[in-house]
């Protein structure tokens, strides 16, 4: 009765058009009030505990702030230049470079819509001018942007880690090889299409441009090394690495690249000035500019926008945690796990059911909410069937990738429509041919667990854990 009431109320409120966060919270409160023996005091206690006890969730605002600085600054533009210098001379190279740029930006942002917005706003128009069909460019970026939640650091992985209490660091390790593999798969598909449609290729710019673009993009690339190196090396937790990434992104955007802040457009080196003098002058300017940066309008706008996004996401998480609390106290996941176990359902069949359930949910709900609702239910069942929790987490994240480009709530579709100025229907048609590639990749991730588990097991071996 309690289970029926909880889910009936949730879907009723969602059907009435209530925001998902409010629907989750209100259905949980009403279930506790009228159908559960749980104390009403547990509501306030759980809302407080959901954000105070889950240390991992503190990484989310830091990664959002870091992504804000990098998106506003010129990091995306420099990463694109570096990617084009490497693969732009191959048939369909500009599209392949766009995927590579998405992979690089995903490794510093942790957000799929942010990846689409930062990279797509530059490369879609560039591809169209270079002779690529606009729909082809939009479809590629809409799909490649989903790598923002698969390549670590990933906000969705942090949410899964908080919901199931698995290691966020191990989730990041597990997402690295699948993320690279998905990016390479997209690039191979682009190359095949480019050969068939005779898409253009740029001339090789020379090793001088490759070196210059690498140096230019080094500020963003070093963030990848710092964050992932610290986590994989066991030097810092994901939350600590996220805090470092936010400070680093601020320093790079405001004081080094100078795309925003009080030093915006102030040249690092004057004409005829030697390197030593320019370096000394730059250091003095940066030190003087730090206090002024906190009152700069563009810097404040980035911080304010990051705060808005963080509050919105954490509000959803808090209400979803309350929903998960009702599930747990009423032992709903355990009853479902026992029922499925007694049915004798094999693990491969269970994973098919999981994928179907998550693909359907991805059409209507935001990824973090889906993870927080479904993970507490699926996690104990997976454990009883011998499925590794980290493997289950990566399966859920890849399903969320698909949800990012499926209507009616696919966030990447709306971001791409905003960039291109086209309708949602046009963007759906552009992204649809690439959806089959994601579904094929989902099958590989589901039934070849070593794609996800190889790196965390190898790092465990190096650390002497196994």
**Residues 372-412 pLDDT 10s:** 888 888 888 888 888 999 999 999 999 998 988 888 778 88
Q: Which of 391, 355, 429, 410 is nearest to 112 (CA)?
A: 410
Task: Determine the pLDDT at residue 328.
Answer: 72
pLDDT top residue among 297 and 364: 297
Percent of the chain residues past pLDDT 70, beyond the cut? 93
Residue pair 396/374 in contact (Cβ under 8 Å)? The answer is yes
* Token pair 């809409």: residue: 142
Instruction: Give the residue-averaged pLDDT of 320-336.
Output: 74
What DSSP element (H or E) covers 202? none
Q: Please check the confidence at residue 458 and state whether its pLDDT lies above 70.
A: yes
Residue pair 95/84 in contact (Cβ under 8 Å)? The answer is no
Task: Determine the pLDDT at residue 254.
Answer: 83
Task: Determine the pLDDT at residue 51.
Answer: 58
Q: Which of 86, 227, 92, 254 is nearest to 168 (CA)?
A: 227
- Cα distances (Å, whole numbers) of residue 77 to 12, 57, 223: 45, 30, 15
Q: Please check the confidence at residue 49 and state whether its pLDDT lies above 70.
A: no
Q: What is the mean pLDDT of the chain?
A: 84
Q: Please check the confidence at residue 451 and state whether its pLDDT lies above 90.
A: yes
Q: Please check the confidence at residue 202 and state whether its pLDDT lies above 90.
A: no
Query: Helix, strand or coil for residue 140?
Result: helix
d(CA 271, CA 283): 18
Task: Determine the pLDDT at residue 360.
Answer: 85
User: Minimum mean pLDDT among 170-174, 312-316, 353-357: which range?
Assistant: 312-316
d(CA 177, CA 181): 6
Task: Determine the pLDDT at residue 174.
Answer: 93
Q: Please check the confidence at residue 48 and state whether its pLDDT lies above 70.
A: no
Task: Determine the pLDDT at residue 10.
Answer: 82
Residue pair 115/147 in contact (Cβ under 8 Å)? The answer is yes
Side-chain-side CA neighbours of residue 14 (13 Å): 16
Burial code (b: 16+ CB inside 10 Å, e: under 16) for 134-152 equals ebbbbbbbbbbbbbbbbbb
Task: Determine the pLDDT at residue 186.
Answer: 93
Q: Please check the confidence at residue 187 and state whether its pLDDT lies above 90.
A: yes
Per-residue pLDDT tens over the stretch 51-104: 556 677 788 888 888 888 887 757 888 888 899 898 888 888 889 999 999 898
d(CA 365, CA 361): 6
pLDDT top residue among 305 and 200: 305
Q: Please check the confidence at residue 46 and state whether its pLDDT lies above 70.
A: no
Residue 340 CA to its chain's centroid (Å):
32
User: Minimum mean pLDDT among 50-54, 160-164, 325-329: which range?
Assistant: 50-54
User: Minimum mean pLDDT among 29-38, 174-183, 235-244: which range?
Assistant: 29-38
Alpha helices, H only, 73-167: 75-87, 93-109, 112-129, 134-144, 155-164
Task: Determine the pLDDT at residue 99.
Answer: 92
pLDDT top residue among 94 and 111: 94
Task: Determine the pLDDT at residue 306.
Answer: 87
* Confidence band for 315, pLDDT divided at 50, 70 and 90: confident
Per-residue pLDDT tens over the stretch 263-287: 777 776 777 677 777 777 777 777 7
Cis upstream peptide for 153 (omega within 30°):
yes
């Amino acid at each position: 009765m309690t289970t029926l009431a909880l889910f009936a109320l949730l879907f009723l409120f969602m059907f009435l058009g209530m925001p998902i966060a409010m629907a989750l919270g209100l259905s949980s409160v009403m279930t506790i009030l009228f159908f559960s023996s749980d104390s009403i005091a547990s509501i306030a206690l759980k809302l407080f505990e959901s954000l105070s006890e889950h240390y991992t969730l503190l990484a989310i605002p830091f990664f959002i702030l870091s992504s804000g600085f990098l998106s506003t600054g010129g990091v995306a533009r420099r990463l694109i230049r570096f990617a084009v210098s490497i693969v732009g001379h191959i048939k369909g190279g500009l599209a392949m470079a766009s995927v590579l740029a998405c992979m690089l930006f995903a490794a510093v942002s942790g957000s799929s819509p942010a990846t689409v917005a930062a990279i797509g706003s530059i490369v879609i128009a560039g591809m169209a001018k270079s002779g690529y069909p606009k729909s082809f460019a939009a479809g590629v970026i809409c799909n490649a942007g989903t790598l923002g939640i698969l390549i670590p650091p990933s906000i969705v992985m942090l949410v899964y880690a908080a919901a199931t209490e698995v290691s966020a660091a191990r989730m990041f390790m597990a997402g690295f090889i699948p993320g690279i593999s998905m990016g390479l798969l997209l690039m191979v598909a682009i190359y095949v299409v480019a050969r068939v449609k005779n898409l253009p290729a740029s001339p090789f710019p020379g090793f001088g441009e490759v070196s210059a673009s690498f140096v230019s993009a080094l500020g963003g690339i070093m963030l990848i090394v710092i964050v992932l190196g610290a986590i994989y090396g066991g030097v810092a937790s994901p939350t600590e690495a996220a805090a470092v990434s936010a400070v680093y992104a601020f320093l790079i955007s405001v004081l080094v690249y100078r795309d925003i802040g009080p030093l915006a457009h102030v040249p690092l080196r004057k004409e005829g000035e030697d390197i030593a003098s320019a370096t000394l002058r730059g250091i003095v300017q940066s030190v003087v500019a730090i206090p002024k940066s906190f009152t700069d309008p563009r810097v404040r706008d980035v911080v304010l926008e990051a705060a808005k996004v963080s509050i919105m996401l954490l509000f959803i998480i808090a209400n979803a945690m309350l929903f998960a609390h009702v599930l747990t106290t009423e032992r709903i996941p355990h009853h479902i796990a026992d029922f499925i176990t007694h049915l004798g359902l094999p693990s491969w069949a269970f994973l098919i059911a999981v994928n179907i359930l998550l693909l359907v949910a991805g059409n209507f709900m935001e990824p973090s909410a889906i993870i927080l609702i479904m993970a507490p239910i699926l996690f104990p069942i997976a454990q009883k069937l011998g499925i590794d929790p980290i493997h289950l987490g990566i399966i859920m994240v890849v399903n969320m990738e698909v949800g990012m480009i499926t209507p009616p709530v696919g966030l990447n579709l709306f971001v791409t429509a905003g960039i291109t100025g086209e309708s949602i229907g046009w963007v759906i048609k552009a992204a649809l041919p690439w959806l089959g590639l994601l579904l094929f990749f989902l099958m590989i991730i589901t039934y070849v667990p070593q794609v996800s588990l190889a790196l965390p097991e190898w790092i465990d071996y190096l650390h002497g854990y196994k």
